[in-house]
Structures are given as C-alpha cells and as structure tokens.
Copies of this chain bind each other. A is one copy, B any other.
Amino acid sequence: MNQIIRRQSKKVMVGDVQIGGGAIIPVQSMTNTFTKDVKSTVYQILSLEEVGCEIIRVAVADMEDAQAIREIKKQIHIPIVADIHFDYRLALSAIENGIDKLRINPGNIGSLERVQKIVAEAKPRNIPIRIGVNAGSIHKNILQKYNGEPTAEGMVESALEHVKILEDLNYDNIVISLKGTDVKMTVDAYHLMATKVDYPLHVGITHAGTLFEGSIRSAIGVGSLLLNGIGDTMRISLTDDPREEVKVAREILKSLNLRNFGITYITCPTCGRTKIQLIELCSKIQEALKNVNKPLTVAIMGCAVNGPGEARQADIGIAGGVGSALLFKKGEIIRKVKEEDLVETLLSEIEKM
C-alpha cells in the first residue's frame, strides 16, 4: 500500500514509553493547571489519559511545582515531563522528585557548570532532555545573522548550539523540537534538522491558535512532516481544553495510517444526487460505533451508483438510495437494507467482523 517510510532515529526512553528508534509515535499534551495544585493537575492528567495522552508535560515554574511531581507521579499512569525555563535548580529538584524527562535548553541556564550538574543527575537515571527551540526564542546572535528575522536555518542553528553543549558533556539522551507559529518555517526547520542529526524529533506547531485554526495549522504542519517520515513524538498545541490536543493528534496519526485508533470513516460530502439524509445518518452511525475499537474502515456514501466503487477500500459500508441503502463489503454489494434498519444492521455486521 502507501506506506510512509520513517526517518531512522535514535531510541530514547521516557519512563516506559519509547520515542524514536522505530517506535510508534506517542501523543503528548501539557497540563494548564498550576502544577503545585496536585489535585487539579492529577485530575487533568487522568482525563487526558482517558482520551489517549501517552506522555504529559507540566510547567515547573518554582520549587513548589518541582516538589509536586513526586505526589503527581504516584497518582497517574503515564510518564511526566518537566517544562523548565532558565532555572537549573528546578531541573535538579524535578529529577529528585522522579521526573521522567526534562524540557530545558542548556544554553539558557547561565553556565556550563549548571548544565553539568543537571547531566550528572539525569544520566544515571536515563532521563532524556528535550531541547525545545521556538522561533521566538532564537538567540540574538543567530537572529542577527539572518536579518533579525526568525528562520528555519536560525532555529536549527540555535538548537544545534544547545545540542553541542550536551554532547560535549558526553550526553546524548536527547530529543529535539523546533516549533514556530509559521507552518512553512517550522516544516522547513524540521526537514533541515533531519539531515543534521539522528536524535528523535518532537514535532508540533507552537501557539497554533484556538480549536479550529489550531487544528488546521497543526494538521498541515505536523501532518506534512509525518507524511515525509519526520516526527517521533508529537504535541498539538491548542488554546483549548488539552483533551482536544490529544484528539487532534490521534486523528492526524490515524489519517496517515501511522496508528490505529478504531474506526476510520469514508463519508461522502453529499451532492444533488443524494436522496438520503446522509449528514444525520453519519452522526447516528458514528455515535453508535463510538465504542468500537476495531481498526476498520467504514464508508457512508450518498448514492448507490458510485458509492460502493468509490469506497472500494472500505471494509464495510452503505450507499444511500431512496428509503433504503445498499450494504457493501470491500466494494461488493451484499444486500439492500431499509433506511430505518441501517444503523442496527451496520452495528451487527461490524460485531461479526
């Protein structure tokens, strides 16, 4: 079939979740509670686990946040990442409290000595460090080199500076991200980075927007990278409930056949040939099948003339007629079903599969 050939990358372990080295692409999200508010943070993480979040990141803004990690970890089931800006002591405390991964940029924490202290603690515990360069946080000297504007080249150069600091300390348990809000620049940056190193890449578009525009911007950027085999883990960034981030991430992976998350729908957009209430029917069927976890492709097509052929690759489907629909499997028509029996018939057929 049309298989994506993935870029080869090193294997990194975040707790018991593998990133890179050919592993399935785990879905990440980030809490927006105050991390020190353990109850709210745990509640949010559990609700994220429910929708399929596999690695969770929390902001560690002060010592109280860092110390909360110990208690949070006890109550959740997925690895946890500390997001730290500038303060190396927060990283040390996060490690002490059981963090599974750090996101910190070693070039931004003041001195090599401080980086050494972090590496000395992270290394024996096999805690990876994500270097996360954003278009807005490129170092001034690099920015100036590129006319003061963020560029893909500048993002990569900036990230490689951070990488070098760790490599010089003989530390290579590294994940890299290069997020911008500009889709083209971000995609270009990851493509360029993929030619430079074999560290796993955490992909995403940053500050992508609210649910609608953020989903679309992220789907274009992350989707396009994944299509080209680039990306070992992903976080969709949305100004909304983080559960939505997970749903969008999973839908992107599913669209590209990189992960299996239950049923995939092929549904026709309807046109002047459609004589069945297809949009409503789709909702009903999706509602009825929402707990079916089989990796099936189900087609819901508007017209009997083209439906089965157009949805040949579906495992099962229906093609609307007048007051009835044709039931088909793999492009072959099985039988006619009355409109009112459609949902039930489809359900029972799928149960048998």
Is A119 an interface residue when CB atoms closer than 8 A count as contact? no
B residues less than 8 Å from A213 (CB atoms): 251, 254-255, 264-265
Q: How far is the CA of A245 from the CA of B268 in the complex (A)?
A: 13
What string of 1s and 0s marks CB contacts (under 8 Å) between A42-74 and chain B?
Answer: 000000000000000011110001000000000
Pairwise interchain contact B272-A239, C-beta atoms closer than 8 A: no
- Dominant SS among interface residues on chain A: mixed
Pairwise interchain contact B137-A59, C-beta atoms closer than 8 A: no
Chain A 160-203 residues near chain B, CB threshold 8 A: 181-185, 187-188
Q: How far is the CA of A85 from the CA of B311 in the complex (A)?
A: 17
Pairwise interchain contact B269-A237, C-beta atoms closer than 8 A: yes
Is A345 an interface residue when CB atoms closer than 8 A count as contact? no
What string of 1s and 0s marks CB contacts (under 8 Å) between A29-41 and chain B?
Answer: 0111111100001
With A152-B2, A274-B32 in contact, is A224–B216 under 8 Å at CB? no
Pairwise interchain contact A239-B270, C-beta atoms closer than 8 A: yes
With CB as the reference atom, state the residue of chain B lying closest to A188.
B2
Q: How far is the CA of A184 from the CA of B185 in the complex (A)?
A: 22
Pairwise interchain contact B207-A269, C-beta atoms closer than 8 A: yes
Pairwise interchain contact A137-B313, C-beta atoms closer than 8 A: no
Chain A 237-289 residues near chain B, CB threshold 8 A: 237-242, 245, 247-248, 251-252, 254-257, 264-274, 278-279, 282-283, 286
Is A96 an interface residue when CB atoms closer than 8 A count as contact? no
B residues less than 8 Å from A32 (CB atoms): 269-272, 274
Is A305 an interface residue when CB atoms closer than 8 A count as contact? yes
B residues less than 8 Å from A58 (CB atoms): 271-272
Is A215 an interface residue when CB atoms closer than 8 A count as contact? yes
Q: Specify which of B30, B183, B248 is in contact with A256 (CB 8 Å cutoff).
A: B183
Pairwise interchain contact A255-B33, C-beta atoms closer than 8 A: no
Is A326 an interface residue when CB atoms closer than 8 A count as contact? no
With A2-B182, A216-B252, A219-B216 in contact, is A242–B269 under 8 Å at CB? yes
Is A75 an interface residue when CB atoms closer than 8 A count as contact? no
Is A332 an interface residue when CB atoms closer than 8 A count as contact? no
- 17 of the cross-chain contacts (CB-CB < 8 Å) are A2-B152, A32-B269, A58-B271, A135-B310, A135-B313, A137-B309, A137-B310, A209-B265, A213-B255, A214-B267, A216-B252, A219-B220, A220-B220, A224-B227, A239-B268, A240-B269, A245-B269
A positions within 8 Å CB-CB of B: 1-4, 30-36, 41, 58-61, 65, 83, 85, 134-137, 149-152, 181-185, 187-188, 206-210, 212-217, 219-221, 223-224, 227, 237-242, 245, 247-248, 251-252, 254-257, 264-274, 278-279, 282-283, 286, 299-301, 305-306, 309-313, 331
